[in-house]
A and B are shown apart, each in its own frame.
Chain A
Amino acid sequence: MIFNSLTFLVFFAIVMALHYAPFFSWHQKKINLMIASYLFYAAWNPPFVILLWVSTVVDWWAAQWMVRAKQERTRKLWMLTSVCVNLGMLGYFKYGGFLMDNFVSVAAAVGIVYHPPGWDIILPVGISFYTFATLSYTLDVYLRRSAPAGSFLNYALFVTFFPHLVAGPIMRPTELVPQFDEPRQAKANQIGFGLALLTLGLFQKVVLADGFLAPVVEAVYDAHGKAPGMLDSWVATFAFAGQIFCDFAGYSTSAIGVALCLGFAMPDNFRFPYGAVGFSDFWRRWHITLSSWLRDYLYIPLGGNRHGQARCYAALMGTMLLGGLWHGANWTFVVWGGLHGLYLSVERWLREHFKGFTPGRASILGLALLTFLLVNITWVFFRAKTFTGAGVILTGMAGMQAKPAPLIAAGPMIIAMVIVTAILGTHLAMRKTTLEAVVERTPSPAIAGIWTLLLFSVIIEQGQGSAFIYFAF
């Protein structure tokens, strides 16, 4: 089930009615939420609920036995059990075909011809998200950062809680489990603001990402056999930058709004990322819950910045390469992650060697635009399905296509560029503030007017119920 669907609206109305029904105890309401969450997931593909169950039960018991273990070795064994089961499922469903393809290629390179049976495995939606969420539970317990959850129900609800289940924000147990201890009832103002956030998220997804930006991106990136020129390549890539942001941030904003209506707080996942100055700043603003997860459970354990420069750069590159692979079983995603690792390494080196440099306002703007530009180059590898496809776009961006073909009509191009410019301008203007602070300063009639326009646009755009891009990750 996806937020931008009629099914979800009905589902959400029922969940809200049950959540605020006076005749249910808090315990019963949590059970209701868990059943609803399983339905939310099963509506996509019922058998995969079993995976959720396996992940939930294994991690629950791993943490329990970890706490009871008297020897460090036993604790480690339970932690490794949890990691192996979770990453094993992720590996099988998400990377099985990829690994097999690469094995076949390597075998062919050394002269061994191998024709494996087709790897016809469906990717369970959101498996990367809930795998990371549940892994953080056992890892936090192992690292003694937190105690195990007090009840199985609270823990199972943490894993399955539908607002964050399939596309994040990737929540840590310490962020959500304590919220299940006490009854949560949102006040009327919280529900109002939650619905406003849900509207904003749907507007970003349905109207901007799917309605106006996706067709421009597809006109170039899916124009097989046609070579785009400089203008088309850049416009399509800028449009994709807008599309991926509106798609994913739209989901996160909707999720936060939905949770708020139920009385729960979820963390920010985006903080105006295209207003970032530099790449470490970008990753503090883009998909925050993933980047911080990778930092806490990969980069720091790999050594982080505590073991010298060389180890630090290696940890940085390793983290970003794996972060790229997390997004999809394709080498193009690895290159995307590698480019970001490279950017971060170069930035780190520059910071080391130009410690006294204090940029002025113009420099900050220039660096922000440079960051945006370089991020866009990485998006080429994220969006193109093959290196050949990425090469075609990059050649176009460099203006080196021998016979470029115009691919984007003027009208859609103008609209897309207006939207992307508006997104970029908003991010630059709001890089040091929050949406809430701006809303609080804005007169109520203006907010009500904007809210009306957003909701009306969503209704008359009549979204086609297309899945969020990050569902595939």
Chain B
Amino acid sequence: MHSSTSPSERGLTGTREGALPPGLRKTAADRPGQAQPVPTRDIPTRPWVKMGLFVLCAVTVLTFAWEWNARTNVGLRAGDIGDSPQAWAESRRVADLAAVAIIGDSRILFDTDQARFQALTGIRPVQVGHVGTNARPLLEHFANDSNFHGLLIVGIADTMYFGMPVIGLGGDAVHNYAKYDKPSQLTGLWLDRWLQRYFAFMDSDYRLSRQAIRFDDGWRKGVDSPYEDVWKISETFPGRQYFMWDRIESDAYLRDHARHAWDAFKGPNIPPPLADKVIARTAEAVRRIRARGGDVIFVRPPSAPQLRVNEQKRIPRALGWDRLMVGARVKGVHADDLPQAQNLLIPEWSHLSRKCAAVFTDAYVRRLAELTPRLKLRVDAPPPLSRADCVPQDVASVKGRRAQL
């Protein structure tokens, strides 16, 4: 066997205390056409143990300081476990055997109080919605899955459902569902959740790289700055239960920013042929789910008048929702048709406040129970909620006066 080391290299293989002089740190690049010897790893002569202990202490102190800042100044809370493609994959897998699953965009995520749903029906729905995501591809994902035989509640925001030809932000989670359901992904998810039960700072919206770029509030013309992004507006709890982050209700700056980020849902009108195509695809997906014993029902959560005016302009209810019900032969609950769901608190105009989510859930679940035999109200179901259960009196009175005017 050929010798693969030069005389100067012999005795330098493995690990070595002290840095090698320049030129003696050879790599395979320096030894063409020969067997490569055991590499040398030189350890710089430094008090690594002492330094390591210092780093451990300093990082612990800094981390707790960061945690204190997150709780006191930012308003983050431990127990807000966040969402991820892995969490979506976990819910999606559970939904296969669920009696009731919910899909849709962020509105149905925020506006459904799973505990209230369960209190009314005895069934806790599996939440498979995703922020910024068109519900139709999610519906088709279930239609393509022969395992699902339950009731699928599809929450829609009209402009997204009828006007967005792509899946949106949930594309990664949906398209890579199999990847995110692997053992290492799931263990990572469980560990992450466990840590987030104790640490508030672990919030993806307040990562270092996110915070570092927020100072740019539009320096470069013609390009969306990080200020235009949707910042944190939600808290997430087990079961992918989203609720409005209470700081959006209490902090005017954050609330105004969130409203600004929606840009009033402005956009081009949705051409009728596109809506027709969406309705046809919906009908086909619904047919396939029903063919194997499942069912589909739609819900349209509320939006504030500031957004609704543009939503209605881009796709009027008569051309969108109403035609969907007929064209896809489905039943549904529109927020406009629920007396209990009128004038609820929508702090940033698109999603209900946490308390009002329970009121809306109460209202739409009671209506769903009338529309489908798959949901029945429990005998011991709690009494109905009303707007007064979630809207502070002063807000209610102001809104009442505005309505009278």
* Residues of chain A whose beta carbon lies under 8 Å from any beta carbon of chain B: 1-2, 5-7, 10, 42-46, 122, 140, 144-147, 172, 174-176, 178-179, 186, 188-193, 195-196, 207, 211-212, 215, 256, 260, 263, 265-268, 271, 283-285, 288-289, 291-293, 295-296, 300, 405-413, 415, 432-434, 436-437, 439-440, 444, 447-448, 451-452, 455-457, 459-462, 464-465
Of chain B, the residue at the smallest CB distance from A283 is: B29
Chain B min CB distance to A9 (Å)? 8
Assembled-state Cα–Cα distance A274/B212 (Å): 26
Q: Which B residues from 139 to 162 make CB contacts under 8 A with A? A: none
Of chain B, the residue at the smallest CB distance from A213 is: B209
Of chain A, the residue at the smallest CB distance from B13 is: A265
Known: A300-B32, A412-B226, A444-B47. A437 touches B19 (CB 8 A): yes
Chain B min CB distance to A6 (Å)? 4
A146 & B207 in contact (Cβ 8 Å cutoff)? no
Assembled-state Cα–Cα distance A189/B14 (Å): 14
Assembled-state Cα–Cα distance A316/B224 (Å): 45
Complex contacts, B187 vs chain A, CB 8 Å: 6-7, 10, 43
A6 & B191 in contact (Cβ 8 Å cutoff)? yes
Complex contacts, B19 vs chain A, CB 8 Å: 434, 436-437, 439-440
B213 & A411 in contact (Cβ 8 Å cutoff)? yes
A452 & B63 in contact (Cβ 8 Å cutoff)? no
Select which of A146, A188, A284, A460 is within 8 A of B201 by beta carbon: A460
Known: A212-B209, A300-B32, A433-B22. A267 touches B27 (CB 8 A): yes
* Residues of chain B whose beta carbon lies under 8 Å from any beta carbon of chain A: 1-2, 4, 13-15, 17-22, 25, 27-52, 54-55, 58-59, 62-63, 66, 84, 178, 182-185, 187-188, 191-192, 195, 201-204, 207-209, 212-216, 219-226
Select which of B36, B42, B188 is within 8 A of A6 by beta carbon: B188
Assembled-state Cα–Cα distance A186/B14 (Å): 11
Chain B min CB distance to A453 (Å)? 9
Question: 10 A-B pairs, CB-CB below 8 angstroms?
Answer: A44-B184, A46-B183, A172-B36, A263-B15, A265-B39, A266-B39, A296-B28, A300-B32, A410-B219, A439-B19
B29 & A284 in contact (Cβ 8 Å cutoff)? yes
Known: A179-B14, A265-B14. A410 touches B184 (CB 8 A): no
Known: A43-B183, A145-B34, A411-B213. A189 touches B48 (CB 8 A): yes
Of chain B, the residue at the smallest CB distance from A196 is: B48
A188 & B49 in contact (Cβ 8 Å cutoff)? yes
Chain A min CB distance to B285 (Å)? 21
A292 & B49 in contact (Cβ 8 Å cutoff)? no
B63 & A459 in contact (Cβ 8 Å cutoff)? yes
Assembled-state Cα–Cα distance A350/B402 (Å): 81
B51 & A444 in contact (Cβ 8 Å cutoff)? yes
Complex contacts, A459 vs chain B, CB 8 Å: 59, 63
Select which of A5, A145, A451, A460 is within 8 A of B207 by beta carbon: A460
A175 & B18 in contact (Cβ 8 Å cutoff)? no
Assembled-state Cα–Cα distance A2/B32 (Å): 32
Chain A min CB distance to B228 (Å)? 9
Chain A min CB distance to B320 (Å)? 26
Complex contacts, B20 vs chain A, CB 8 Å: 434, 436-437
Complex contacts, A415 vs chain B, CB 8 Å: 212-213
Query: Can you name 10 extra interface pairs (CB under 8 A) apart from A266-B41, A411-B213?
Result: A145-B4, A189-B43, A190-B15, A292-B32, A410-B225, A432-B22, A444-B50, A456-B66, A459-B59, A462-B207
A296 & B1 in contact (Cβ 8 Å cutoff)? no
Of chain A, the residue at the smallest CB distance from B46 is: A444
